[in-house]
Chains A and B, each alone.
Chain A
């Protein structure tokens, strides 16, 4: 048994365990922290697959940004913890049945399909250097530049919509109303008094 296979088995079993903990723990904070663990473990597995840039991005973006957002929301919302309600018990057999059925179907498919695959069928890799990051950056900025910019637009859309949705106007705030300012005429502001002498 080589070291690569041992690493794969250790980290994949841990990954499956943490994924189970995510969906079964009653406290949402524990779910979020287990999700963080599962992201770390899958980052290690992505390193094994040679995707160094994406594994670092997974930790930086997911654990650093998205999961912190999740934890913030969990702390902001005042949810009653540990309420395993009747619905959980009610849907437990259905959940287990779906889990087993999907697993049997898809694993059967995967085992049979990829037995005699020719791994060198498609060699489309555009090698600039040995660095995965450099190759990925080359592809992103040449072949996929339009998609890259669309991704930026999507992020901008996410920022704007999140702010618009959660923004609460403070009634104590003092601010200008440009419409009122522009539509004000001379008569509203200026009073000419002609007969001052009398």
Chain B
């Protein structure tokens, strides 16, 4: 049996990679959304791991709901991205500072 901390450390590494990705790719909203997907993946890893090791199926049920919410979220986010691209002709975050005087 694989120790539980291996899986938790793996999910931590994925989570921190996605945080670093959000820091690094601040220009490109598309890669920001992909980093967000990686973050959700690591959270799901945690839920499944702990559910498995505690012998409780509720973790997997929760992952199921997280998957549906993430699917809806990415659909809406990409739709917003397309609307943004139509009006601005770019997906650069720096071009969004319209309220800055």
Extra 7 A-B pairs, beta carbons < 8 Å, given A22-B38, A28-B28, A159-B75: A16-B10, A42-B45, A54-B60, A58-B67, A62-B67, A98-B23, A117-B53
- Tell me which residues across on chain B come within 8 A of A115, comparing CB atoms: 5
Tell me the minimal C-beta distance from B85 to chain A in angstroms.
Answer: 5
A22-B38, A70-B34, A136-B61 known; A161 vs B20 contact (CB < 8 Å): no
Chain A residues within CB distance 8 Å of chain B: 4-5, 8, 12, 15-16, 19-20, 22-24, 28, 31-32, 35, 38-39, 42, 45-46, 48-51, 53-54, 57-58, 61-62, 65-66, 69-70, 73-74, 76-77, 79, 83, 85, 87-88, 91-92, 94-96, 98-99, 102-103, 106-107, 110-111, 114-115, 117, 119-126, 132, 135-136, 139-140, 144, 147, 151, 154-155, 157-159, 161-162, 165-166
Contact A155 B71 (CB under 8 A): yes
Tell me the minimal C-beta distance from B22 to chain A in angstroms.
Answer: 8
Contact B17 A19 (CB under 8 A): yes
Interface of B is mostly: helix
Q: Does B97 contact A (CB under 8 A)?
A: no
Q: Does B96 contact A (CB under 8 A)?
A: no
Contact B71 A125 (CB under 8 A): no
A39-B41, A42-B45, A66-B74 known; A95 vs B24 contact (CB < 8 Å): yes
29 sample A-B contacts, Cβ–Cβ < 8 Å, listed by A number: A4-B1, A12-B10, A19-B13, A22-B35, A23-B24, A32-B34, A35-B34, A35-B38, A38-B38, A54-B48, A54-B67, A66-B37, A66-B75, A70-B34, A76-B82, A95-B20, A99-B17, A102-B16, A106-B16, A110-B8, A110-B9, A111-B5, A111-B9, A136-B57, A136-B64, A151-B65, A155-B71, A155-B72, A161-B75
